[in-house]
Each structure stands twice: as structure tokens, then as C-alpha cells.
Amino acid sequence: MATDGWTEWPFDEVIDFQEGPGILAKDFKDEGVPLVRLAGLDRGASVLAGCNYLDPAAVKKRWAHFALAEGDILLSTSASLGRTAVVGPEAVGAVPYTGIIRMRPRDERLYAPFIRYLLEGPDFQSQAEMVGVGSVIRHFGPMHLRQMTVRLPTPPEQRAIVAILSGFDQKVELNQRMSAVAESLCMSLFVSWFIDFEPVRDNAAGASTPLGARFPSELVESESGPMPLGWSVSTVGKEFRLTMGQSPPGTTYNEDGDGVVFYQGRADFGFRFPGRRVFCTAPTRFAEAGDTLITVRAPVGDINMATETCCIGRGVAAARHASGASSYTYYFMRSLRETFRRFEAEGTVFGAINKKDFENLRRVMPPPALVSEFERLASPLDARLLNNHHQNMTLSRLRDALLVALMSGHVSVGAAERFVESV
């Protein structure tokens, strides 16, 4: 498909857009109306991934006009320009956080799903770089969109392009859903064994289970509440190797792949595994493949797992159980979510946990044999998650290459369809 016949329009003439409001952490609740965060714009993730919640009455009074509708397209401008997501039924009525812009077609000239690919295409990206003041990452917003244009093929051509590219997105999303199920199974097992002590309670009740012999049949009192007989109360510092990140000099950062991949905090995290946004040539603190990554400031307690040796900045810590059990470490850190919330500063967006406080967190700890048994059961499922992640990276690279070719007119719809059939 050549781009002859494409028409050019002012951005704000064909696309209705609105940036989400700035909301303080003091307004976050345990439940209510979801507040969409950047984690929800990771490819393949649910729009509600990593969301906070708002009081419904407060939303009705102050933020109702920001409510999302099904099919809305979201664009990130905070931390990294260009992440996009499509609002599904589960996020209808949610509110996007500041740094996320909601977009809708103004009329029939534009097929709504095509907006996503316009935003990810080379024409939009090059314009964004030109109109951004200083660093595009920090200074892009609605005012810049009003200076931009979009080039549109006919609506039927828009639909054909969407059909090709969305096939890749749907496969990525399917892999992500499968991974979410596998992770949920592992987390349920962790909670059953190490939080609720269900095998111990089953033994005490005389129930026979295959793993019952590995657990005691009695709970005893401890400083942390009831715990299985023979277990102990210990600290994170004694049970895990903990590395606190340290940011390299800003002059050593790049997005060209030069040096070591570098994770600074939540903005780099996705579902289970982080994305690659920044590299650095002077790394200072490292995490190894399989280490659990935990955000330790702004906010505290987001969890990912490193897929390779990487540099971690001061917003991230890396942890691994002393035995080397990486799956156990990941689910243990996830189980501390409510504890981490205590370190969110009152009345401000920012919170932090230092190394001493992190290492001093006390929990009921199982004996080494049960850590090993959990690792034996969970690690094959976690390996599937990693395989899905790598497959998604390959699919995303193919999809991104096709997007550039289609949106620039270098490849026709027919040629792209034939390529997809051959993959």
C-alpha cells in the first residue's frame, strides 16, 4: 500500500484527547475506582496492572470527566513517551493518572483502533521529537499534540492495517494471560504453605495429603503469631541476599544499547519482567538473572524478576534467598505487599524503604527442605513465564518492524498479509 491518497489533518481535528489528573498518594484507597498507572501500558499487560484505587465519591465529585470508555487509546508521556494501551471492559470508568493521555476519534474519518498504530508509527514519533522541549520524556503533553498532524489512509485501509498488527498484539496478550494464570497458581501455593499453613492445619485435623509428611501437625505461638512447630521467626537480612541499587552518573545513560541494561524503578517494570528502556556504560550495582527486583522508593513494593545481569538504580533493590531459590524469593517478596505499603509517605507521592529497615523485616520462615520443595514445584511454571516473555519479545520485534513498514508505505497490506501467513 503506497501512501498516495493518504490525507493529512491537524491532530486535534481528528483525535479528541485529555491528560489524566495529578492525584496525591493520600487519596489512594484499598479499593474503589481504579487509577491507571504506567504499568498498565506495558504491551500485553492488563490496563489495570499496578493500578491504585480512588474513593468512588471523590471520583464522582472531582474526576468523573476523566472516566475511561471501552476502546479508548492511552498514551504515556511520563517516564517514557510512547507506551500505548487499549481500554477493555475491565477498565471502563477507571481514571488515568497524570502522564497518561486518553484519545478517541472525533468522527468517522478515523477508525478508533488505528489510533494506537498512529501513535507508535514513525510519523508521530518524529513529530514528537521535534515539538518536545528539551527532553521529550519530561516535556511532552497535550500542548504538543495541538502542534502536530496525522496522515490517514481510507477507513478500509485503516481496518486492514489494524487486522494485521493486532494479530501480533493478540498473541502477546494470550501469552500474558497464560503467564498470569501460572503466576497465580504459584502464588496460591506459596500462600497456602507459608502464610495460611494449610498443610499443617490439614495434618492437625487428621486429613491425609501427599505432602503432609513434610509439614508438622501443630501450630505454636510466636512473636509473629501462630507458626508451624519447628519453624522460626527470622529477618529478611538473615534469609536473603539483598542488594540496594545505586544510580550511575546521568551522563552514562543511553537508549542505544551501549553498556548494561539499567533499571531505575517502577517506570521500567512490566508484568513479571522489566522492559529495556535505558542502558548505562558505568554500572555500579548489579542484579543477576533470576534475582527478584523490588522498587524501594516512589513507590515501595513493586515486584519484577531480572532476566539477565543488569544494573539497578537507587529506586530498585535485588534479592535472592540464601539457598539460591529464585522462585521462592519472588513469591516471598510478593507476599510482603501490605508490609511495603507502610513505607509509603503520608500525604505525598513519594515513599522509601532503606536497607536497614528492609533487612529487619521479620517473618515466619520455613525450614530449608520446604523452600527447596516449593522451588521444585514452582520453577517449571516460572520457566514457562520466562519462555512466554522471550516469545513476546520476538513477536513484538516483528510487529514493530511491520508497523514501521506499513505506516511508511514501504510494504503493501497484501505483502504484509503474506508475510504473516509465513511466520
pLDDT of residue 80: 63
What pTM value is reported for the model? 0.78
Q: How confident is the model at residue 84 (pLDDT cuts 50, 70, 90)?
A: confident
Is the pLDDT confidence value at 14 over 50? yes
Q: What's the average model confidence in pLDDT over 97-122?
A: 93
Q: Helices in 34-154 by DSSP H: which ranges?
A: 56-58, 114-120, 122-131, 142-145
Per mean pLDDT, which of 262-276, 343-357, 377-391 is the most reliable?
377-391
Is the pLDDT confidence value at 331 over 90? yes
Q: Which phi and psi (to 5°) does residue 22 adopt? A: -80, 125
Is the pLDDT confidence value at 196 over 80? yes
pLDDT of residue 116: 92
pLDDT of residue 345: 63
Residue 10, preceding peptide bond in cis (omega within 30° of 0) = no
**C-alpha cell of residue 70:** 471501552
- The correct CATH number of 232-365 out of 3.40.50.720, 3.10.105.10, 3.90.220.20, 3.60.21.10 is 3.90.220.20
Q: pLDDT exceeding 90 applies to what percent of the chain?
A: 67
pLDDT of residue 260: 93
Is the pLDDT confidence value at 304 over 60? yes
Q: What's the average model confidence in pLDDT over 248-275?
A: 88
Here the contacts of 140-147 (C-beta below 8 Å, separation 24 or greater) are 140/77, 140/81, 141/19, 141/77, 141/101, 142/17, 142/18, 142/19, 142/101, 145/11, 145/12, 145/15, 145/17, 145/101, 146/10, 146/11, 146/12, 147/11
Q: What's the average model confidence in pLDDT over 8-24?
A: 95
Domain 7-152 has CATH 3.90.220.20: yes
pLDDT in tens, 337-368: 999 988 876 544 568 999 999 999 999 999 99
Q: How confident is the model at residue 422 (pLDDT cuts 50, 70, 90)?
A: confident
Give the Cα separation of 18 and 1 in Å (integer).
32
Q: What's the average model confidence in pLDDT over 16-25?
A: 93
Out of 200-209, 244-253, 398-407, 410-419, pick the least confident: 410-419
Q: Which residues are CB-contacts of 343 (< 8 A; sequence separation ≥ 6)?
A: 300, 301, 351, 352, 353, 357
Is the pLDDT confidence value at 79 over 80? no
Q: Which 3 state secondary structure label does DSSP give 269?
A: coil
